[in-house]
């Protein structure tokens, strides 16, 4: 799979660039996105399946062998700071995608990322790199970095012991740091996954702990290692409705270079199954200075039989 850069000249429509996005405008764009996702996915004519979206913390479970899970959503983050460029503003990610493949009973492969990010600039601080922005620019946009993941389930859950797994990923340098909202760096991640269902399997508890090897965006050949973590819970209220929450982020124990600062956020939300799809909605609150003050994420998930495994 080849992921190329989008041309730098591509930008927001004038209606979005002329002013900071308002909640009403965001909701109109969100409705358009969900309608498009509904139409595109409904053409497949197959049922949806459960998963952990809209959480960042990864569950141990693998997509069933031979099946493909499609996810499409949108993120809205207010007062998002970018340490590398010194920009602060409202971030809009209208097309956040995830494609997950069940390769085996204990092996899965995923591609995740945002097609393009848009920032309504509220403040311009000191930048650690040259930016290709006009002095009075009130908005910027750019391609986002995609991440390739491989997940391996090492142990099934038992009555007394949790399930265990590992997840390894590489983030591709697809963004343009001169646009002010990307790092354009290759990063490597590895984490241990653990999960346990309790309360007659109505409550799913799972967590991640790992390391990220992040390339410095300001010093060639340098890197910094960060601790990545996440703790999440999903409670099944009914057969169609779940409530969920998490705390997830990364911690840099060293003096961080610009762009590699510690980040963390809390997410609380719900998901429901209707019309053959799974829908989700969650509120976001940042826990560090470089995290968004608040935000909203929502999306749709669809799963179908995609291929026959090689025997």
Task: Check if the beta carbon of residue 130 is closer than 8 Å to that of residue 107.
Answer: no
pTM summary value: 0.83
What CATH superfamily classification does 14-305 receive? monomeric porin ompg (2.40.160.40)
Output the average pLDDT for the chain. 87
Higher pLDDT, residue 95 or 49: 95
Determine contact, residues 234/204, Cβ cutoff 8 Å.
yes
Q: What average pLDDT score do residues 269-281 get?
A: 96
pLDDT in tens, 36-83: 444 444 444 434 343 588 999 999 999 999 999 999 999 999 999 999
Q: Write the CA distances from 191 to 51, 87, 99, integer angstroms.
A: 19, 30, 20
The answer to whether the CB of 239 falls within 8 A of the CB of 262 is: no
Tokens of 95: 């097309």
């Amino acid at each position: 799979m080849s992921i190329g850069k989008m041309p730098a000249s591509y930008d927001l429509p004038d209606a979005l660039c002329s002013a900071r996005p308002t909640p009403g405008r965001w909701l109109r764009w969100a409705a358009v996105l969900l309608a498009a996702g509904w139409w595109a996915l409904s053409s497949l004519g197959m049922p949806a399946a459960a998963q952990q979206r809209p959480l960042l913390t990864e569950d141990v479970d693998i997509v069933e062998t031979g099946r493909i899970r499609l996810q499409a959503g949108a993120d809205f983050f207010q007062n998002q700071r970018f340490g590398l460029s010194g920009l602060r503003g409202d971030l809009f990610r209208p097309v956040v995608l995830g494609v997950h493949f069940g390769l085996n009973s204990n092996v899965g492969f995923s591609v995740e990322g945002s097609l393009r990010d848009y920032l309504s600039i509220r403040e311009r601080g000191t930048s650690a790199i040259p930016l290709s922005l006009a002095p009075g620019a009130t908005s910027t946009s750019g391609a986002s970095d995609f991440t390739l993941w491989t997940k391996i389930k090492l142990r099934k859950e038992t009555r007394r012991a949790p399930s265990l797994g590992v997840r390894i990923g590489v983030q591709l340098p697809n963004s343009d740091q001169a646009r002010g909202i990307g790092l354009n760096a290759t990063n490597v991640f590895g984490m241990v996954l653990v999960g346990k269902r309790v309360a007659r399997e109505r409550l799913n508890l799972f967590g991640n702990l790992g390391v990220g090897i992040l390339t410095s965006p300001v010093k060639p050949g340098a890197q910094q290692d960060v601790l990545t973590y996440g703790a999440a819970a999903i409670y099944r209220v009914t057969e169609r409705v779940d409530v969920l929450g998490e705390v997830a982020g990364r911690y840099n124990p060293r003096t961080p270079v610009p762009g590699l600062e510690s980040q963390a956020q809390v997410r609380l939300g719900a998901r429901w199954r209707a019309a053959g799809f799974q829908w989700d909605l969650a509120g976001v609150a940042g826990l560090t200075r470089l995290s968004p003050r608040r935000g909203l994420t929502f999306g749709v998930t669809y799963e179908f039989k995609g291929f026959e495994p090689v025997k």
